[in-house]
A and B are shown apart, each in its own frame.
Chain A
Amino acid sequence: DAGVIQSPRHEVTEMGQEVTLRCKPISGHNSLFWYRQTMMRGLELLIYFNNNVPIDDSGMPEDRFSAKMPNASFSTLKIQPSEPRDSAVYFCASSLGSRDIQYFGAGTRLSVL
């Protein structure tokens, strides 16, 4: 298996633009997680899905952030409009069940100018 695949690896955009991050989880995994990592706050959970259903989105910063999982093999995290404070590395992870070992993608480094 190729592992968790995220795209793009790097994204540079201007304030106010829409940003879409993509994730393909490991086949057969039922749980998918979106994290954000910054130097100041470390790795923070934004939202997680079980069987394509959002379970906990309490970590989503505000309404500018939204996440979808239309099927078991694809998820998106959208920021609209983007702001400079959204600059961070965003990770997607998947696991067999929500309490199992998580496998992380390589991340998307987002820079909002």
Chain B
Amino acid sequence: SQKIEQNSEALNIQEGKTATLTCNYTNYSPAYLQWYRQDPGRGPVFLLLIRENEKEKRKERLKVTFDTTLKQSLFHITASQPADSATYLCALLMNYGGSQGNLIFGKGTKLSVKP
């Protein structure tokens, strides 16, 4: 069956360190992968998108990598701050089939950055 796994349910790090979150998938051929941030009581907010033919994308302190051979994406937050504490979701858009508009979400990793 098709599956998306975000390796950690929770990740605790110290302020100033780099947070690295992992998203693995099986049995998909994604057109692209997205990362979203979700704060308690709110809907997910889009952060970054990376396409299947791209290896890396950056936006300010955020960096995403995409390895279609390993079927894995890594999401990095450098110089992390307590304000980065949130749940981060990865989502795949499939590259085939009738459901081409569907994003499939992972369950998320809850990041806590301690001062």
A interface residues, Cβ below 8 angstroms from B = 4, 31, 33, 41-45, 48, 50, 55-56, 58, 91, 93, 97-99, 101-107
Contacts and interface: CB of A to CB of B under 8 A. Distances in A.
Interface residues of B, number: 22
Contact of A106 (B41, B93, B99): B41
A103 B10 CA distance: 25
Interface in B77-115: 89, 93, 98-108
For the residues of A in contact with B, the DSSP-based class is strand
Interface string B45-62: 110010000000000000
B44 A99 contact: no
Contact of B101 (A31, A42, A105): A31
A108 B85 CA distance: 23
A105 B43 contact: yes
A41 B99 CA distance: 20
A104 B100 contact: no
Interface in B6-45: 31, 34, 41-45
B100 A43 contact: no
A24 B43 CA distance: 14
Contacts of B99: 56, 58
B49 A101 contact: yes
